[in-house]
Structure 1
Amino acid sequence: MIVGVIAASLAMSIGGYLATPPDERFDPSYATLHAIVPLVFAICAAIAWRLDVAPSAARLMAVFPLLWIPQTIYNVIAPLGWLWPVVRGVDLLWGVLAGVLVLIYPRGTFDDNTDRAIAYSAFAVSAVNFAAVLLLAVPDAVPCDCAPNAYSFLDAPTAFAIIDAGFRLFGGALVVVVAVRMLLRWMRGSVPARTIVFLMPVALLAWATTLAIQVVSYAVDTAFDEVAATISLIAIATIPVCFVAGIAHARNLRARVADLMRITRESADRTLWEESLARTLRDPSVRVYWWDDRDGAYTDAAGEPLDVGDGGGAGMLPITSPSGARLALIRHDLALTDNTRLLDGVSSALRLSVDNGRLRSQVEATLAQVRESRERLVRASLDTRRRIERDLHDGAQQRIVALGLQLRVLADRASAAGEGDLAARAEEAITESGVALRELRELAHGIHPSLLSAGGLALAVPELAGRCPVPTEIDVRVGRLPEVIESTVYFVLSESLANMAKHAKATRSWVSVEVVTMEADVDDGDPEADRADDAEAAVAQSEGEAVRLVVRDDGVGGVDPRGTGILGMADRVEAVGGTFALDSPAGGGTRICVDLPLGAVDPAGDVVAAVPMPEAEPAAAE
């Protein structure tokens, strides 16, 4: 369809130009510019159709080239007395289409009844002019030696001249009215309205000015200035370009909604959302009100309720959940009301942001419950270990010791009585009871070392390292700590030394325990990196203290991080909110680093604090 329109327009321009005598032709540059104007309209119509917005505007642009009839066309149709009056009756209808195109800009529909009245009056006057041309026009009404008008029934050249001049004056005045309305609308409009309209008032005022000059020149029967004519052509060609540019600008606003997705990853931060939305829509008047279920009303980021009279001159966009529950209300400029796709995108982004915030809160609450549950399990395990160790110490160990003493008395009496065989068997029983006692003490020590409870890490770590077959240097610089922290450090160290002795083939190892200050998390502007940092050190509060255990050896390395022992140590550390790091390159030894924060919260909600104690002297042992 567009190709056909362009072909018809070019045929009229080229055919008329060639049919005109050389001495009567327009300047080639002006004739070329005149032919380009309808091509611009046709191309813009194709673009508007491609953008799938404002179909009425696209149709007007497509029809315009057929009504952009060059005056030279009469040299082609002059012999056709039944055709040239019809062409003469519609050859100014393009002005009406251009005016209507301006009136429906940028929505593609009329804004109010005034715009409709202007458009309907223009079509009505055009219909009167068309009838006057058919019934009264004579060949002198067109610049050619045309055949007699086949429809004329009355020879009244004066009446026709008055009607023709009145039609042109009315058209010029109407264009001026449209231009003034557009200019006032642009001046009074908000920022979004002006950014969408932008160049149209300039083009329209240029066209109105040159049209007024043309009307005056026609009325006084003088030549139309070529400069003014050129400006007029350029201004007319700018109208569809401005229309398409406005549509593209509105579409670009919809694309900018994608920027809102950046903040939906976190949650619906109210102040941030309002600022980002205003920046995206380029509308500083945007306000976001959030639904408060408790109060049953909309409130802004500061908690102020929505004033029902605050919506005058603004559009209201309610945001609801898929189930229909109220979420928010966006007050925006009326210029954005008809941009339904833009507003739909904003609604989806905000709805997603609220959902993300709700899910994030639920996940955080669930993780907090998991952390509390894991800490309760650790404490319960610790209590169980202590109770078992106490029961073994006060029960089974005491009985074995008592049994050993009785056997010793029995062996001494048997020896004194000369019962050598009985004395030998008693000695064997004494030896077996001693072995059983040692094994029971080692078992109790493995369940919960009494030395840890009595003296803390400063005493328990050297004793534990002393039982390791690999020579170990230790450096313990801590006093008494919360029991759960001491127990975690001790058993992680015990498992590390046991694994090293079995698999590392190390000749030396080093152990250090100290209290360090955790560095505050620096905001580098990357929310993804910040969340990763928080996940890795969730329990380390900003600039808080933590106990750091480092165990390293000069063994073969290559430890599998998915091994049962490693995973067990990591689980034990994470259960109390710590972090576990393993570095074991093949052939480069193994290094285990554990950080346990001292600001953890116990299940009862009390903050766990280190028990003050004089600084322990650094212990060193192999």
Structure 2
Amino acid sequence: MPEGSATSGTLAVRTVAVRTVAVRTVAVVAAIALNAAMQVSGFLAAPAYLRPDPTWVTVHLFVAVVFALCAGAIWSTRGARAGIAALLMVVFPVAWIPQTFLNVVSSYGAVWPIVAGVELSWTVVLMLIVLSYPFGMFSGRFDRFVAVAMIVLSAAFFVATLLLRQPEADDCICVPNAYAITDDPVPWAIADLIYRGIGIPVVIVVSARLLLQWVRGSVPARAVAFIMPAALLSWTIMLVVIQAFRLAGTSADIVIDTVALFTVASIPIAYVAGVIHARNMRVRVADLMRITREGADRGQWAEALKTVLGDESMRVYWWDESSGRYADAAGETAEAHAAGEGTLAITSREGAPIAVILHDKVLTQNTRLLDGISSALRLTIDNSRLRAEVERTLEHVRQSRQRIAESAVTARKGLERDLHDGAQQRLVTLAITLRSVAERRNIVADPQLEAEVESAIEQLGDALAELRQLAHGIHPSLLSQGGLAMALPELAGRCPVPVEVVSDVGRLPEIVEVTAYFVASEALANVAKHAHASRAWLRIAHGDGQLVVTIRDNGAGGADATGSGMTGMADRVEAAGGTFEVESPRGAGTTVIARLPA
């Protein structure tokens, strides 16, 4: 995709997001403003003897504000996954208006019956909100059946109000109903009794069902339900109490009415609390990654999942290629426990099966939580596989470097042997021959020949000396014969700077001795060439399974740890499986430390 197209696409997405937020904000503010305006006008329009208590009106307005603000909270928390819950909470303040607005239109016979017909529509909206808890949708047949039944019952009540209701003196001072088909109050009383007689038991059944699910549910089920059962049950109780007063022909006092309003307001608050709690459960996936980031076996991973989600009934079964089945860490197959539980199948990015998780059904619709668990497990498996591959690679590298170091030692010994048995022996033989010729020079008096023989003998001696020195540098004979205890003092004696040697080690593996010797040799060479030191110290210590070689001087310091000499020493030490350190502050000398496994 061209860069310009990608940028324009991103801007378009941002624009849509900004517009969505703006529309939702306007909806929340408009719902609150409309409800406040209508309730205040209804309060002022009511006659003094029908005007409700100001406290009740204030709490009544507070309920509408709570629903609208909770809608904004759900939109903010769940975004596109808010479902219908947030929309219903915005609609609720509008459905909440007719209770206090009836007196404003009481003088219009064609208007007040319509307002009265939707006076209790808020109960339908409230029950739809409850049924959509906690995922913003109707998840089962029971939920959908109750939702349809409540809507049909509310529509029937609206029709009955238009055709049968007459103005009651204790309700409002209304003109006659323009749509009424009878003046007899009995049909309306029966219709009202049927509506309330069906609606209240439905509310009780929904409350009891939600409470029973909460009690019987597993830990995740109770966590997701949270405080909604208590809020709904408290509202149901207040609803029954108020209807009992109504059937008794009296009105509940202001305290009961106010408490009932607070129980209505508690329902959206409980809804938001449940949504936030469900989101926090998704955040716990981060805790799961923290627990398993260093790698965990199958049993530990399953226990960590139970701990993080608080579900002891959750089980994890892993795919076994040899048997073609899922089995847990103890070898038990998944088929024995699959019935009646939610199932989360986890596969690799290539589609190969990894594991299956049996969990509480209440988590089935919490797709973001389950996606997080899948990603966490998949990432843990990938990390474990990558860690194992890295460890295998490192082991191969370590073994390869060790083989290289050992082969270098073998090659040096072979070269020394070849030089000693080959070229050096031939040169020695040639020297003996020339010496014999020189001894017979008096037989043939030839001064020029005598001079040439003497010159050849001198050159041959120099060649032998250089060859012995070369062989000595490749693999010191003292090191082979007596180890570090004999070779290091001789090495220190050749250094122009006085070197104090401290060594208490016996014979060690050849690769260790050779590495230690050449590190000491290179370090002392650096002391002689670059340190400007008057004294140096060489210490060899053996303990805790390792050999520590320390070379220190009192020179100028400031050595370059990345120079070719230092790098060569570090490579030689690391090839033998050791570690190499350089400390060289300016003006305080240089300390080289090599630690080798011994």
Decide: shared fold, TM above 0.5. yes
Structure 2 Cα separation of the partners of residues 373 and 301 of structure 1: 36
Structure 2 segments unaligned to the other structure (5+ residues): 1-26
The answer (yes or no) to whether the contact 2:166–2:185 under 8 Å persists in 1 is yes
**Does residue 124 in structure 1 map to residue 152 in structure 2?**
yes
CA displacement 1:601-621 (0-9 Å, x = unmatched)? xxxxxxxxxxxxxxxxxxxxx
Please state if 1:106 is matched with 2:138: no
Letter in 2 for 1:212: V
- Paired residue for 2:107? 79
Superposition deviation, residue 179 in structure 1: 1.3
* CA distance in structure 2 between the partners assigned to 1:186 and 1:253 by the alignment: 17
| 1:104, distance to aligned residue in structure 2 (A) | 2.1
**Residue 190 in structure 1 maps to residue 227 in structure 2:** no
SS state of the match for residue 230, structure 1? helix
Which residue of structure 1 aligns with residue 6 of structure 2?
Answer: none
Aligned to 2:488: 461
Q: Residue in 2 aligned with 1:408?
A: 435
Give the alignment partner of residue 476 of structure 2, picking from 435, 449, 458: 449
Q: Give secondary structure in 2 for the equivalent of 1:357.
A: helix
Work out the CA distance in 1 between the residues paired with 2:39 and 2:293: 58
Letter matched to residue 97 of structure 1: V
Conservation of the 8 A alpha-carbon contact between 2:50 and 2:172? no
Equivalences for residues 204-243 of structure 1 within 5 A? 204-243=232-271
AA aligned to 2:414 is R
Deviation per CA, 1:399-424, whole angstroms, max 9, x where unpaired? 22233333333333325876665444
What are the equivalent positions in structure 2 for 1:431-450 lying under 5 Å apart? 431-450=458-477
Counterparts of 1:70 and 1:172, CA distance in 2: 20
Contact 2:98 2:118 in 1 (8 A): no
Match runs of 1:413-428 below 5 Å:
413-414=440-441, 422-428=449-455
Q: Which residue identity is paired with 1:546? A: Q
Name the counterpart of 2:563. Answer: 563
The residue number in structure 1 matching 2:21 is none
Q: Does residue 554 of structure 1 match 2:520?
A: no
Match of 1:10 among 33, 36, 39: 36
- Alpha-carbon distance between aligned partners in 2 of 1:21 and 1:146, rounded to the nearest angstrom: 12
1:497-576 alignment runs, 5 A limit: 497-517=524-544, 545-576=545-576
Aligned length: 570
The 5 A counterparts of 1:321-400 are 321-400=348-427
1:255 matched residue in structure 2: 283
TM-score (norm 1): 0.88
1:150-174 Cα distance to aligned partner (Å, 9 max, x none)? 1111122012112212322322222
Q: Superposition RMSD on alpha carbons, in Å?
A: 1.9
Paired position in structure 2 for 1:29? 55
Quote the Cα distance in structure 2 between the aligned partners of 1:120 and 1:217. 29
Q: Relative to structure 2, which stretch is displaced further, 467-476 or 100-109?
A: 100-109
Query: Which residue number corresponds to residue 530 of structure 1?
Result: none
| Structure 1 residue aligned with 2:3 | none
**CA shift for structure 1 position 59:** 1.9
Structure 2 matches for 1:470-509, cutoff 5 A? 470-509=497-536
Note closer, same or farther for the CA distance 1:367–1:171 as it changes in structure 2 (3 Å cut).
same
User: Structure 1 residue 305: deviation in Å?
Assistant: 3.5
Matched, 1:92 2:114: no
Deviates more, 1:31-40 or 1:49-58: 49-58
Q: Distance in 2 between matches of 1:264 and 1:561?
A: 38
CA distance in 1, matches of 2:554, 2:323: 66
Deviations 1:93-145 (A, max 9, x none): 21122122212211223343233333333223222222211111111277222
Aligned 8 A contact 2:98 2:115 in 1: no
Query: 1:146 offset after TM fit, Å?
Result: 0.8
Q: CA deviation at 1:425?
A: 4.0
Whole-Å separation in 2 of the counterparts to 1:513 and 1:32: 89
Q: 1:44 aligns to what?
A: 70
How far 1:499 sits from its partner (Å)? 1.6
Cα distance in 2, alignment partners of residues 142 and 571 from structure 1: 100
CA contact (8 A) 1:88 1:142 kept: no
Residue 151 of structure 2 aligns with an amino acid whose one-letter code is F
Does the 8 Å CA contact 1:475/1:512 hold for their aligned counterparts? yes
Whole-Å separation in 1 of the counterparts to 2:511 and 2:320: 43
Q: Residue 178 of structure 1: CA displacement?
A: 1.5
Q: Any idea what SS the aligned residue of 1:55 has? A: coil
Task: For residues 493-525 of structure 1, give each alpha carbon's deviation from its aligned partner in whole angstroms, at most 9, with x where no partner exists.
Answer: 1111112211111111111112121xxxxxxxx
> 1:308 Cα deviation (Å)?
0.4
Report deviation, 1:197.
1.2
**Structure-1 separation of matches of 2:48 and 2:536:** 106
| Structure-1 residue corresponding to 2:5 | none
56-65 vs 115-124, which deviates more?
115-124
Equivalent residue number for residue 614 of structure 1: none
- The question of whether the paired residues in 1 share the 8 Å contact of 2:343 and 2:358 is answered with yes
2: CA distance, partners of 1:293 / 1:515:
50
- Secondary structure of 2:245's aligned partner: helix
Task: Specify the code of the residue in structure 1 equivalent to 2:473.
Answer: G
Larger RCO (CA within 8 A; separation ≥ 6): 1
SS of equivalent to 1:153: coil
Letter paired with 2:58: T
Q: Which amino acid aligns with 2:321?
A: D
SS at match of 1:322: coil
The one-letter amino acid of 1:347's match is: S
**How far, CA to CA, are the matches of 2:413 and 2:310 in structure 1?**
66
Counterpart for residue 187 of structure 2: 159
The alpha carbon displacement at 1:591 in A equals 0.7
Over residues 355-400 of structure 1, what are the superposed CA-to-partner deviations in whole Å (9 max), with x where a residue is unaligned? Answer: 1221222222122222222211111111111011011112222222
Tell me, yes or no, if the aligned pair for 2:83 and 2:135 is still in contact at 8 Å: no
Q: Determine the C-alpha separation between the residues in 2 that align with 1:141 and 1:250.
A: 49
Output the amino acid matched with 1:479. Answer: G
Q: What amino acid sits opposite 1:509 in the alignment? A: A
C-alpha distance in 1 between matches for 2:65 and 2:275: 19
Distance 2:490 2:451 in 1: 36
Q: Distance in 2 between matches of 1:591 and 1:114?
A: 81
Q: Distance in 2 between matches of 1:214 and 1:329?
A: 51
AA matched with 1:593:
I
Q: What amino acid sits opposite 2:40 in the alignment?
A: I
TM-score normalised by L of structure 2: 0.91
Q: Which amino acid aligns with 1:65?
A: P
Kept in 2: contact 1:206–1:231 (CA 8 A):
no
* Contact 1:200/1:242 (8 A) holds in 2: yes
How far apart are residue 23 of structure 1 and its match? 4.2
Cα separation, 1, equivalents of 2:325 and 2:468: 69
- Partner SS state of residue 438, structure 1: helix
- CA change 1:24–1:150 in 2 (3 A) is closer
In structure 1, distance between residues paired with 2:490 and 2:224: 79
Contact kept in structure 2, 1:74 and 1:142, CA below 8 Å: no
The CA distance in 2 between the partners of 1:35 and 1:177, in whole Å, is: 28
Query: Following the alignment from structure 2 to structure 1, what is the Cα–Cα distance between the partners of residues 320 and 113?
Result: 70
Counterpart residue number, 2:198: 170
Alignment match, 1:301: 329
d(CA) in 2 for partners of 1:81 and 1:25? 21
Separation in 2 of the partners of 1:445 and 1:402? 20
Q: Specify the alignment match of 1:582 in structure 2.
A: 582
Q: Which moved more, 1:67-76 or 1:465-474?
A: 67-76
The question of whether the paired residues in 1 share the 8 Å contact of 2:226 and 2:273 is answered with no
Matched, 1:286 2:314: yes
- Structure 1 stretches of 5 or more lacking a match? 518-544, 599-622
Secondary structure at 2:440 match in 1 = helix
CA-to-partner distance for each residue in 1:512-551, whole Å, 9 max, x for gaps? Answer: 112121xxxxxxxxxxxxxxxxxxxxxxxxxxx0111111
